[in-house]
Amino acid sequence: MSLALAPLDVSVEVEANLPCRKFDPDLWFSDSPTELELAKSLCGDCPLRVECLSGAVERAEPWGVWGGEIFERGAVVPRKRPRGRPRKEDLARDAALRVEAEARLAANGLATRSAVRLAA
């Protein structure tokens, strides 16, 4: 049995230019918030970003960076927080980032609450 990782019409050249294929795959599944932000930024120019995000939402990916968004427990989170109690300014920034994440999902046609669950 073979699992398809990309659409069949994607050439080998395009696949070689995908950031998740060029860089260490562990970057997209890191525990470090800084490394996850780096992975998100690398996804920005990916030609399969929208398809990757759409597939991750459909599969309710449990964790990792997919299509430029961070998934945690099957939900899109604006950023991964480090361990410990969050500071008040971090909570305010998280609220603003949550709105930004919803806008990015809406821009990709994935804004309905039934299509994706955003973590609080």
Task: Extract the annotated binding site for [4Fe-4S] cluster.
Answer: 20, 43, 46, 52
Residue 46 to residue 96: CA distance in whole angstroms:
25
Nearest to 67 by CA among 100, 113, 5, 20: 20
The half-sphere exposure of 73 on its side-chain side, counting CA atoms within 13 A, is 6
Q: Which residues contribute to the annotated binding site?
A: 20, 43, 46, 52
Instruction: Give the alpha-carbon dihedral of 37, 42, 48, 50, to 10 degrees.
Output: 40
